[in-house]
Chain A
Amino acid sequence: MPRIKLTEYRAKKLLLGDAYRGIPIIANEKPELPKLGRFAVKVDQGVKKRMKKGLVLLDQSPRAISGVVSKLRKNGLASSPTGGFSRFLAEPMLRHNEKDEQYVSFERVREGIRFMHAKAGGIEIESNPEAVETFILRNAADVKAAAQKTKLPENFLKHALEVFENNFFAFLEINPLVVINGKAEPLDAAVLVDSAGAFFVKDAWTADDIVEKTAGSRAEKNIEELAKTSPASFKLNVLNPNGSLFFLLSGGGGSIVIADEAELRGAGKEIGNYGEYSGGPTRGETYLYAKEVIGLLIKSKAKRKALIIAGGVANFTDVKQTFMGVIDALAENCEKLNKAGVKVFVRRGGPNEKEGLELMKNFLKKEKLLGSVYGSDAVITKAVDDAIKFIKVNRH
């Protein structure tokens, strides 16, 4: 399952528990701030290279914090179409020596937990591989050996691993980490959790703790919502909103093959959307997915447009049921599609293929949308090839 990023606040809260004194600040809320002390104020939305981007302000007085937050909020407007940053974190400043900053990370790998350590923190480990020591931790003995070698407190390692396992972390990076008087203090913490673990962690982390990606289009958001409600799989990415090729593809692997073919024929830039549906969706779910794609197609300003309904030979996704869902969505838009001269190209195989293809062909013929319809006896790329021929005609 996908690895998803938590807020720095939640990451540190899980790692440090009640000892953690950070204060999350969400959008317009006015948090309870202590009267004394100095604070670091940061944007807490999974943004990389925050320092460089000016999204971390150090040594602020308590009174200055809300001013800093509003400044940071406006800062994000240029990069985010939905109105700037909305999540921040205020932490008590930790005085330390920059020389004492170290790097540690933990990642779940096949053999166990891969633990990486560098004595000099804040570095890009990818560009300084020789500075990094790697250990595979499988048991208590491994942990002890790693603690000895890195001179990090063994308790810290043990505790970090416990938190890691209990909360279904997939990746934990603390950069920088400082060890003061034998106590390990994370100055920054980034956690990727295994989203499949959500059920098992109860409320240790929830949807509120997940850093949102930059807002996508409404169609993409709708499909994200749809995917949450079903055991079947749905993905949608808008590529070129004014493209001429729009895809309703099935299967992760097959969809890439078909998209590849478009690129190979020089039509890669014409692709309006990439995505796929698979894993046995119902007629109703397929209808909702197709509706979004057809909506995108209709909005596109391209002169000639084609809809490609294609995929491999499914194992258990019912071609008849899913095609009925697609037909339901097409039926709502026939007038607009005809007006734009849109044609539909199909290649699909799987359970109830014969009935599904027949239904589709008859419908497309009736509504004057027929480009071509093929089953498993044609090559997987047939539909997209036919569609590209279609859009290339009369191109200026």
Chain B
Amino acid sequence: MAEFMTPIEAARKGKAKILVLGSHPAIVQSILDFDFISGKKSPSVLGLITGNRKAEKYFFGQSEMLIPCYPAIDAVPSEIKKQINWMLNLQSGRRAFESTIGFFEAFPQALGGHIFAENMPEKHATELISRFGSKYLIAGPSGVGLLIPGSLKLGAIGGVDLRQISASKLSTPGSVAVVSTSGGMTNELIRAVADAGKRLSFAAAIGGDRFPITPLTDMLKLAESDTNTKALVYFGELGGVDEYEIVDMLKSKRFTKPVVAYIAGVIDEAFDEHMQFGHAKALVSRKDESARAKRAALRSAGVIASDTFPEFLEEISKLSGTREISRNVKLYDIDKLMKREKSILSTREIINIEKAVSFVKGKKLAVNGEHIFVKATLEALLGRPVKSKITTGFAEAVFTSLIDHGGHVSGAVNTMITARAGKDLVSSLAAGLLTIGPRFGGAVNAAAKVWLAGVSGKTSPSAFVESESRKAAIIPGIGHLKYRVGLPDPRVEALSKFALLLKKHPYYDFARGIEKVTTGKNGKLILNIDGVIAALFLDILSECEGFSAKELLEFTDAELFNAFFVIPRSVGFISHFIEQKKNDEGLFRLPEELLFVRKKES
């Protein structure tokens, strides 16, 4: 039979796995950062219940990862459900009541949770206390959550900046417990403990609401039964009677460990009318709710209740018997970790760009097959039956090569952004296709025109380049942003082999001739894929299908050659679209720092 463990001990022993209700990216990221520097192999957050997306992007260490988002708890897959044992409720006070009930009904075996909302009605809080207060450890409503070093960060507690998490030494378990209703001061105390050379056993920010689900006395009970905890550091304020409960517990020996406390609020004595300070409860109405009275009462029970904050810090450092549990703590380069930059789009590999499929082996056409679809497509485009296997083979090769060239090209980006705007397939495909033009994917036809003009005009390549240079014109079919002399485009290499199957190839020769001249000026001005497709298609249509130069010119007027890009690239765009829908990260927005905006002139 398993021995009874408090939720804190259970969190230390087992794997803390959190389901987040709602979202707050900075808080979730801080939990993942805590997990990472605590040496965990995978994040403790398994999913978020939130609408409008299927995934949110986070860093685990320096690697990006997607955390799945579900519209409701019942949409969470069972293999994830059975791991969940903590709730992080980040929803507003209006919704947190219902969703908390939903959570504990779905996960009765959970250990507890944190309710972040500050405006939960009292009625809802008391109802939650009645239903769950005795069964689960729930920090809140309000406050910043629960922290167990190395095991669990449930909330903003300890900070959301990796530097804070690291400076407070939150990955190292220790023996000092920190408890307060004040979120900010809980963090100040956590840092004070670390600065004093000690470490936390756990820290809990109960929240400043009138009815915290797990009240102060229960937190003390946890601290008492927790074998790791050797002392308690507490921050309180004027107003309310919480501290008298501590006195009771001490006097009746239900709490026996050393307590160092600071009760703030002597400032109230300086004024005639009682002030309403930060928290809902801190409204002084009776004398004994004053800071001084509480300090006196605590002292009578053996608590070290300091009169000034610096003295309080002294007392923390003087706590004896608090030992750090030694652990091999890996030191991380925090500055390096913080330099990580989030990608702004994610997609999957559609085809293997590095490998170009080879359709010509030796001097023979290497692909045998019926090519029914490609043949039918060519016949539809050309308006007559295809005569040669070379033509079909070349179209097959071209279509296969052009399906996709990565998610960073303009058309794919357009498609993905449109998909993330929640648009349909056709709209997203159209958005990508509309990028196709003289600079992207649409140069095949323009190159064909150039090769036709060059060959029929019997110009020499160098003379042609010269005249174009004088016009400062770009030669379509020439040039690439990535590939260059010494770093060839594998697709161009593979397709060029089709020239070996032909008896003559004047257009291809002309194109290569142009390349020789242009690469002499700039290594990036290679014959690119648009150019080689245009050239070889002209040669094949001419030699294998018997089209005249005039007919070929008519085809370029109808932009036929661009169709050889549009047809296969549509497949690629649609594939990116499907990927966006699958891992929907919600509406895209360009990060401000990536956009330069020139100010309006005044």
Chain B positions 263 through 281: 1 when the CB is less than 8 Å from some CB of chain A, otherwise 0: 0111101110001111110
Chain B positions 109 through 132: 1 when the CB is less than 8 Å from some CB of chain A, otherwise 0: 000000000111111001001000
A195-B276 Cα distance, complex, nearest whole Å: 16
Chain B positions 188 through 209: 1 when the CB is less than 8 Å from some CB of chain A, otherwise 0: 1011000100000000000011
A57-B165 Cα distance, complex, nearest whole Å: 64
**A353 beta carbon closer than 8 Å to chain B:** yes
- Evaluate contact between B180 and A381: CB separation under 8 angstroms: no
Residue numbers in B under 8 Å from A168 (CB-CB): 121-123
Q: Please report which residues of chain A, range 245-292, place their CB below 8 angstroms from some CB of chain B when the two chains form the complex.
A: 250-257, 259-264, 268-269, 271, 274, 276, 278-279
Give the number of chain A interface residues (Cβ < 8 Å): 58
11 A-B contact pairs sorted by A residue (CB < 8 Å) = A1-B121, A2-B276, A195-B119, A196-B121, A252-B182, A256-B238, A260-B266, A271-B270, A315-B156, A315-B187, A379-B309
Residue numbers in B under 8 Å from A261 (CB-CB): 308-309
Residue numbers in B under 8 Å from A351 (CB-CB): 26, 159-161, 164
Shortest B92–chain A CB gap in Å is 8
- Evaluate contact between A313 and B309: CB separation under 8 angstroms: no
- Evaluate contact between B266 and A264: CB separation under 8 angstroms: yes
- Evaluate contact between A254 and B270: CB separation under 8 angstroms: no
Q: Which residues of B contact A (CB under 8 A)?
A: 26-27, 30, 92-94, 118-123, 126, 129, 144, 155-161, 163-164, 167, 180-188, 190-191, 195, 208-209, 211, 215, 235, 237-238, 262, 264-267, 269-271, 275-280, 282, 291, 307-310, 313
Residue numbers in B under 8 Å from A252 (CB-CB): 182, 184, 208, 237, 277-279, 282
Shortest B142–chain A CB gap in Å is 9
Which residue on B lies nearest to A166, using beta carbons? B123
Which of B186, B187, B235 is most buried by chain A, counting CB atoms within 10 A of its CB? B187
Q: Which of A1, A250, A271 contacts B280 (CB 8 A)?
A: A1
Residue numbers in B under 8 Å from A388 (CB-CB): none
A112-B129 Cα distance, complex, nearest whole Å: 10
Chain A positions 338 through 377: 1 when the CB is less than 8 Å from some CB of chain B, otherwise 0: 0000000000011111100000000000000000000011
| Contacts A271-B267, A381-B308 known; 9 new A-B pairs at CB < 8 A | A165-B123, A196-B93, A252-B277, A253-B181, A260-B291, A262-B267, A312-B185, A313-B191, A349-B191
- Evaluate contact between A254 and B188: CB separation under 8 angstroms: yes
Residue numbers in A under 8 Å from B276 (CB-CB): 2, 235, 237
Shortest A331–chain B CB gap in Å is 19
A351-B157 Cα distance, complex, nearest whole Å: 12
- Evaluate contact between A108 and B188: CB separation under 8 angstroms: no
- Evaluate contact between B267 and A274: CB separation under 8 angstroms: yes
- Evaluate contact between B27 and A316: CB separation under 8 angstroms: yes
Residue numbers in A under 8 Å from B121 (CB-CB): 1, 168, 194, 196-197, 200
Which residue on A lies nearest to B119, using beta carbons? A196
Chain A positions 305 through 339: 1 when the CB is less than 8 Å from some CB of chain B, otherwise 0: 00000011111100000000000000000000000
Q: A1-B119, A110-B126, A253-B182 are in contact. Are A313 and B187 (CB under 8 A)?
A: yes
- Evaluate contact between A253 and B93: CB separation under 8 angstroms: no
Q: Which of A312, A315, A377 contacts B160 (CB 8 A)?
A: A315
Which residue on A lies nearest to B24, using beta carbons? A316
**A11 beta carbon closer than 8 Å to chain B:** no
- Evaluate contact between B144 and A251: CB separation under 8 angstroms: no
Shortest B338–chain A CB gap in Å is 10
- Evaluate contact between B157 and A254: CB separation under 8 angstroms: no
- Evaluate contact between A263 and B267: CB separation under 8 angstroms: yes
A263-B279 Cα distance, complex, nearest whole Å: 20
Which residue on A lies nearest to B168, using beta carbons? A313
Which residue on A lies nearest to B264, using beta carbons? A256
- Evaluate contact between A253 and B126: CB separation under 8 angstroms: no
A2-B277 Cα distance, complex, nearest whole Å: 11
Which residue on B lies nearest to A314, using beta carbons? B184
- Evaluate contact between B237 and A311: CB separation under 8 angstroms: no
Which of B118, B129, B190, B291 is most buried by chain A, counting CB atoms within 10 A of its CB? B118
Shortest A182–chain B CB gap in Å is 30
A136-B310 Cα distance, complex, nearest whole Å: 43
Which residue on A lies nearest to B278, using beta carbons? A252
- Evaluate contact between B144 and A316: CB separation under 8 angstroms: yes
Chain A positions 82 through 112: 1 when the CB is less than 8 Å from some CB of chain B, otherwise 0: 0000000000000000000000000011101
Shortest A311–chain B CB gap in Å is 7
- Evaluate contact between A194 and B277: CB separation under 8 angstroms: no
Q: A260-B265, A261-B308 are in contact. Are A312 and B270 (CB under 8 A)?
A: no
- Evaluate contact between B237 and A256: CB separation under 8 angstroms: yes
A261-B269 Cα distance, complex, nearest whole Å: 13
Q: A257-B264, A276-B278, A311-B184 are in contact. Are A263 and B269 (CB under 8 A)?
A: yes
**A177 beta carbon closer than 8 Å to chain B:** no
Residue numbers in B under 8 Å from A199 (CB-CB): 94
A128-B211 Cα distance, complex, nearest whole Å: 28
- Evaluate contact between A253 and B160: CB separation under 8 angstroms: no
In the A-B complex, list the 3 residue pairs whose CB atoms are closest, starting with the nearest.
A252-B278, A253-B182, A251-B184
Q: Please report which residues of chain A, range 34-75, place their CB below 8 angstroms from some CB of chain B when the two chains form the complex.
A: none
**A172 beta carbon closer than 8 Å to chain B:** no
Residue numbers in A under 8 Å from B164 (CB-CB): 313, 349-351, 353
Residue numbers in B under 8 Å from A257 (CB-CB): 185, 262, 264, 309
Which of B26, B188, B279, B309 is most buried by chain A, counting CB atoms within 10 A of its CB? B188
Which residue on A lies nearest to B215, using beta carbons? A110
**A170 beta carbon closer than 8 Å to chain B:** yes
Q: Which of B158, B188, B211 contacts A312 (CB 8 A)?
A: B188
Residue numbers in B under 8 Å from A196 (CB-CB): 93, 119-122
Which residue on B lies nearest to A261, using beta carbons? B309
- Evaluate contact between B309 and A314: CB separation under 8 angstroms: no
A269-B164 Cα distance, complex, nearest whole Å: 35
Residue numbers in B under 8 Å from A315 (CB-CB): 144, 155-160, 183-184, 186-187
Q: Which of A195, A253, A260, A262 contacts B180 (CB 8 A)?
A: A253
Residue numbers in A under 8 Å from B270 (CB-CB): 263, 268-269, 271
Shortest A300–chain B CB gap in Å is 17
A268-B161 Cα distance, complex, nearest whole Å: 35
A315-B309 Cα distance, complex, nearest whole Å: 20
Shortest B145–chain A CB gap in Å is 9
Shortest A240–chain B CB gap in Å is 9
- Evaluate contact between B126 and A108: CB separation under 8 angstroms: yes
Residue numbers in A under 8 Å from B269 (CB-CB): 263, 268
Residue numbers in B under 8 Å from A109 (CB-CB): 126
A253-B277 Cα distance, complex, nearest whole Å: 8
